[in-house]
Amino acid sequence: MSMPSRRAIVGFLALAPAGLVLARPARAAEPRVFQPGGVAIHGMDPVAYFAEQGPVPGDPAITQDWDGAEWRFATEANRAAFVADPARYAPAFGGYCAFAASRGYLAPTIPEAWSIHEGRLFLNASLRARRLWEAELPGVIAAGEANWPAILG
């Protein structure tokens, strides 16, 4: 059995990184709405961010399926308001981190890191991310909206 030439080995090594890049498995698309356990906003009532000025836990008995996720509400009145105009109450960027979207990637969120800006609800991954996001308004919103179509994959 003959040994491969030095030239063949160098050629193989030069092509190996390109082959590894091309052979990467495809990444599964993320859901349009951030939904740990299938529940949007960690079970918080999206209408309450507007009506109560903050996160309020939704009742697991008062729900609405919308955009591939279960949404929970503290009251039937809040559920009715959401059903009448879900785009008004649902968080921007599918409830994923608004700061991360402005940078071109997805990140989970926590209910406490929220902001309402010009009538829209935005969530962030942490209170620090929210501060960074707020410091760059309104540019971060425009950047997130520009990035959003390609982010989910």
What does pTM read for this prediction?
Answer: 0.81
pLDDT of the chain, 153 residues: tens digit per residue: 444 444 444 443 443 333 323 222 224 478 999 999 999 999 999 999 999 999 999 999 999 999 999 999 999 999 999 999 999 999 999 999 999 999 999 999 999 999 999 999 999 999 999 999 999 999 999 999 999 999 987
pLDDT at 29: 76
Q: What is the pLDDT of residue 152?
A: 84
User: Integer distance in angstroms from the first to the last C-alpha of the chain?
Assistant: 47
Q: How far apart (Å, rounded) are the C-alpha atoms in residues 148 and 69? A: 19
Residue 20 has phi, psi (to 5 degrees) of: -65, -40
| Segments in the chain forming alpha helices (H) | 6-22, 48-51, 76-84, 86-89, 98-103, 127-135, 139-151
Distance CA 124, CA 117 (A): 13
**99 contacts: CB under 8 Å, gap ≥ 6:** 107, 124, 125, 129, 130, 132, 133, 140
Return the pLDDT at 30. Answer: 87
Which pLDDT value is given to residue 145? 97
pLDDT computed for residue 13 by the predictor: 40
CA angle 33, 36, 126 (to 5 degrees): 85
DSSP, collapsed to helix, strand or coil, labels residue 33 as coil
Q: What is the reported pLDDT for 111?
A: 98
